[in-house]
């Protein structure tokens, strides 16, 4: 059924990602009306805020959809309550702390007849579509991912990221995996994983992955959460015909055979919300968990390597 009036939406979690990305993207999309948000502590300017989701929904029963922007450890419970209350759900990545949680939410959303979006914002970076098209025309020889950023810059004071279920450096690394699984056109399987875990943490701060597509294309990935100065979010692909592609800055810059062919501003979340609106309007869901499966497999077979204690 087509949606003819703005979808009334609420935010669950009002932290950095909500303030930096969700709120501006929602307000810029005429298909949505941001009604309120909830958080135990955060109170962003201009947002009607409540302590919890129950209080928000009691005050605003008109809310039709909820974007869940909490840490992943509590996302399953909140998302299930949201679906049970009859709301459509937009899940910030990752869609759950475990693959089982994510699959349970997908099944429950289908039972409730509600839209579920497992959002992978990096798939909406401007050069990802062109990367997919190039790979479709150039059978791959190899793929290399280098994804390194500063946890102190992007996750200040967020202890949850190194707690069980917080994923550590896989929190940004899964963005690269979401692009990988969207563009290679084949299943990606983990073969080897080195997980460098600080002695005072429960999730890795550095990871090296050896993977391969089912068709035999080798894929390597290096994730690091201690990169200072210039941040690195790059994917390199070499084709069997010798062609080379480089996707930089998370998918905003594209080079082919050493020449820049695209450099655009970041616009991932506006694209995500346009996609969410289309899904709700069509009564559909988008719940692809391929990136999360790679992370889960890496934890299953990964070698744990003790790293120095992390102190923010």
Which residues are identified as catalytic?
Answer: 93
Residue 65's nearest CA partner among 102, 20, 119 is 119
Report the SS3 class of residue 144: strand
Give dist(CA 10, CA 87) in Å, integer.
10
Give dist(CA 181, CA 197) in Å, integer.
25
Asked whether the beta carbons of 174 and 223 are under 8 A apart, the reply is no
User: Which residue reads 């979401």 in tokens?
Assistant: 178
Contacts by residues 150-159 (CB-CB < 8 Å, ≥ 24 positions apart): 150/225, 150/226, 150/227, 150/228, 150/231, 151/205, 151/225, 151/226, 152/312, 155/16, 156/312, 157/312, 158/15, 158/16, 158/71
The torsion of the CA quartet 31, 33, 37, 43, rounded to 10 degrees, works out to 110
What ranges in the chain are assigned the alpha helix state H? Answer: 16-17, 23-28, 53-59, 75-84, 99-112, 128-137, 151-154, 170-183, 268-282, 290-301
| The two three-digit tokens of residue 183, written as one number | 């563009």
- 168, exposed or middle or buried, with CB in 10 Å at 0-12, 13-18, 19+? buried
219's CB contacts (< 8 A; 6+ apart) are 142, 143, 144, 145, 180, 184, 188, 209, 210, 211, 212, 213
């Amino acid at each position: 059924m087509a949606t003819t009036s703005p979808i009334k939406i609420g935010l669950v979690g009002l932290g950095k990602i909500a303030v930096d990305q969700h709120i501006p993207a929602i307000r810029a999309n005429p298909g949505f009306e941001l009604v309120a948000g909830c958080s135990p502590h955060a109170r962003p300017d201009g947002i009607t805020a409540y302590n919890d989701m129950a209080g928000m929904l009691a005050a605003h029963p008109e809310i039709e959809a909820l974007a869940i922007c909490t840490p992943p450890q509590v996302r399953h419970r909140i998302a299930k309550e949201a679906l049970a209350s009859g709301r459509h759900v937009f899940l910030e990545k990752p869609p759950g702390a475990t693959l089982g949680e994510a699959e349970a939410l997908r099944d429950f959303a289908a039972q409730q007849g509600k839209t579920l979006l497992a959002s992978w914002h990096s798939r909406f970076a401007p050069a990802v579509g062109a990367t997919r098209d190039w790979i479709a025309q150039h059978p791959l020889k190899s793929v290399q991912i280098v994804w390194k950023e500063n946890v102190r810059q992007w996750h200040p004071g967020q202890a949850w990221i190194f707690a069980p279920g917080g994923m550590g450096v896989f929190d940004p690394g899964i963005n690269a995996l979401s692009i990988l699984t969207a563009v290679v056109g084949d299943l990606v399987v983990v073969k080897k994983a080195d997980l460098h875990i600080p002695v005072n943490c429960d999730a890795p701060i550095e990871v090296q992955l050896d993977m391969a597509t089912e068709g035999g294309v080798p894929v390597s990935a290096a994730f690091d959460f201690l990169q200072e100065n210039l941040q690195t979010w790059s994917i390199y692909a070499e084709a069997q015909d010798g062609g080379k592609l480089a996707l930089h800055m998370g998918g905003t810059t594209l080079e082919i055979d050493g020449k820049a062919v695209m450099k655009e501003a970041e616009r991932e979340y506006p694209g995500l919300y346009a996609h969410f609106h289309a899904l709700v309007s069509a009564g559909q869901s988008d719940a692809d968990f391929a990136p999360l499966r790679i992370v889960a497999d890496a934890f299953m077979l990964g070698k744990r390597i003790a790293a120095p204690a992390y102190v923010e």
